[in-house]
A and B are shown apart, each in its own frame.
Chain A
Amino acid sequence: MPPLPACLDAPRAALRPALLGVALLNGAAGVVLVALAWCLADTLNALVFHDTGPTPLRLGTVAALLLARAALMAAAQGRAAALGFEAGRMVRRRLVEGLLARSTPVPPGSLALVGVEGIDAIEPFFARYLPATFHAVLLPVVVLVVVVPMDPLSALVLAGTAPLIPLFMLLIGHGTQTLNAAQWAEMTRASAYFLDVVRALPLVRAFAAVPAERQRLATAASAWCDGTVRVLRLAFLSALVLEFLATLGVALVAVFIGFRLLWGQIEFERGLFVLLLAPEFYLPLRSLGVHYHARLEAQAAAERLAALIEDENAPPSSAPESPTPESPASQAAPLRPEEPSAPRVEVAGVSFAYPGHAPVLEDCSFTLEPGTLTALVGASGAGKSTLLALLRGRLTPQAGTIRVDGVPPGAEAARPAWIPQEPHPFAGTLAEAVRLGAPDAPDEAVSRALDLAHATPFVAERPQGLDAPIGEGGAGLSGGELRRLALARAFLMDAPLVLLDEPSASLDHESETALIAALQGLRRGRTVLVAAHRLATIRAADRVLVLAGGRVAQEGLFETLRASDGPLRALLGAGAPLVGAALEETSR
Chain B
Amino acid sequence: MSLFFDRMGFLAGLWREARWKASAGLVLAVITTLANIVLLAVSGWFITGMALAGAGGGAFNYFFPAALIRAAAIARAGGRYLERLVTHDATLRLIARLRPRLFAALAERPGRPASPDAALHGADLAGRLGGDLDAVQRLSLQGVLPVLVALIVVPIGITVCAHFLPQAALVLTAGMVVAGGLVPLVLARAGRRVGPPLVTARVALRVALVDLIGGQEELRACGALPRFQDRAREVEDRAVRLSKRAAWIESLGLAGLALLTQVTVWGMVLVAAGQVDGPILVLLAFLGLALFEPLGPLPEAFQRLGASFAALDRVRALAPASPDTKRRASPALPASPSASPSSSPSPSPSPSPARATAPAVRLDSVSVAGIEGGRPALREVSLELPPGGRLGVVGPSGAGKSTLVSLLAGTLAWDRGRVLVNERPVEGPHDPALHGLVALAPQAPLLLAGSVRRNLRLGAPEASDEALRAALETVVLSKWLAALPEGLDTPLGAAGRPVSGGEARRLSLARALLGAGPVLVLDEPGEGLDPALEARVLDQVLTAAGTAGRAVLLVTHRPHGLERMDKVACLDQGRVVDAGAPWDLARMPGPFRQFLEAAAL
Contact = CB atoms under 8 A, between A and B. Distances in A.
Given A199-B122, A578-B596, A206 B244 contact: no
Given A203-B442, A327-B224, A211 B206 contact: no
Contact of A96 (B126, B212, B395): B212
A420 interface: yes
A204 B269 contact: no
A202 B211 contact: no
B92 A225 contact: yes
A473 to B, nearest CB: 8
B456 to A, nearest CB: 11
Interface in B268-290: 269-270, 273-274, 278-279, 281-282, 285
Given A81-B248, A210-B338, A326-B223, A100 B62 contact: no
Nearest to A195: B126
A583 B597 contact: yes
B222 A327 contact: yes
B593 A215 contact: no
A271 interface: yes
Interface string A539-555: 00000000000000000
Given A49-B278, A579-B596, A77 B221 contact: no
B89 A232 contact: yes
Contacts of B587: 581-582, 585
A112 B209 contact: yes
A233 B85 contact: yes
B81 A69 contact: no
A288 to B, nearest CB: 16
A198 interface: yes
B601 A578 contact: no
A425 to B, nearest CB: 8
A468 interface: no
A194 B102 CA distance: 10
The residue in B251, B278, B449 that gathers the most chain A C-beta atoms within 10 A of its C-beta is B251
Given A225-B93, A264-B54, A506 B595 contact: yes
Interface residues of B, number: 171
A280 B96 CA distance: 39
A254 interface: yes
B15 interface: no
A477 to B, nearest CB: 10
B166 to A, nearest CB: 19
Given A48-B52, A202-B442, A229 B223 contact: no
B526 to A, nearest CB: 10
Interface in B182-238: 202, 205-227, 229, 232, 236
A84 B119 CA distance: 36
Contacts of A326: 223
Interface string B306-348: 0000000000000000000000000000000010011010101
Interface in A81-122: 81-82, 84-86, 88-89, 92, 96, 99-100, 106, 108, 111-113, 115-116
B46 interface: yes
Given A261-B53, A475-B371, 12 more contacts: A74-B252, A77-B247, A92-B236, A190-B96, A191-B130, A240-B77, A271-B51, A427-B211, A472-B207, A533-B598, A536-B597, A585-B593
A151 interface: no
A271 B396 contact: no
Interface residues of A, number: 158
Contacts of A263: 54
Contact of A582 (B54, B240, B394, B596): B596
A229 B458 contact: no
A201 B107 contact: yes
A96 B270 contact: no
A12 interface: no
A493 B222 contact: yes
A70 interface: yes
Contact of B461 (A212, A279, A581): A212
B448 interface: yes
Interface string B69-81: 1100100111011
A200 interface: yes
Interface stretch (A365-373, A447-455, A507-515, A517-525): A507-515
A363 interface: no
Given A198-B122, A207-B459, A243-B81, A115 B54 contact: no
Nearest to B439: A207
A560 interface: no
A209 B229 CA distance: 48
A578 B563 contact: yes
B214 A424 contact: yes
Contact of B76 (A218, A243, A325, A510): A243
Contact of B119 (A100, A202, A262, A578): A202
B123 interface: yes
B78 A240 contact: yes
A141 to B, nearest CB: 21
B69 A251 contact: yes
Contacts of A67: 259
B272 to A, nearest CB: 9
B213 A96 contact: yes
A163 interface: no
A111 B262 contact: no
Contact of B207 (A218, A271, A427): A427
Given A439-B227, A479-B396, A205 B410 contact: yes
A210 B348 CA distance: 10
Nearest to B558: A576
Contacts of A509: 572-573, 577, 591, 594
Nearest to B587: A585
A87 to B, nearest CB: 11
A66 to B, nearest CB: 5
A535 B597 contact: yes
Given A417-B221, A576-B562, A40 B265 contact: yes
Contacts of B209: 92, 96, 111-112, 115-116
B223 A415 contact: yes
A168 interface: no
A199 B126 contact: yes
A221 B100 contact: yes
A235 B80 CA distance: 13
A426 B215 contact: yes
Contacts of A535: 597-598, 600-601
Most buried by A among B40, B215, B458, B598: B598
A166 B452 CA distance: 46
Interface in A246-282: 247-248, 250-251, 254-255, 257-259, 261-264, 268, 271-272, 275, 279
A239 interface: yes
B215 A73 contact: no
A49 B54 CA distance: 12
A324 B223 contact: yes
25 contacts: A47-B273, A47-B278, A54-B270, A77-B255, A81-B248, A113-B127, A116-B205, A192-B494, A195-B127, A200-B119, A206-B459, A211-B344, A214-B103, A222-B93, A229-B88, A250-B43, A257-B47, A261-B51, A262-B54, A479-B397, A534-B597, A535-B598, A578-B583, A581-B583, A583-B597
A261 B118 CA distance: 76
A571 B88 CA distance: 63
A260 to B, nearest CB: 8
B556 to A, nearest CB: 10
A36 interface: yes
B85 A229 contact: yes
B557 A506 contact: yes
B359 interface: no
Report the 4 A-B pairs with minimum CB-CB distance, sorted nearest first: A81-B247, A48-B278, A437-B222, A424-B215
Contact of B601 (A204, A377, A423): A377
A266 to B, nearest CB: 9
A200 B583 CA distance: 37
B80 A240 contact: yes
Nearest to B247: A81
Contacts of B258: 69-70, 73
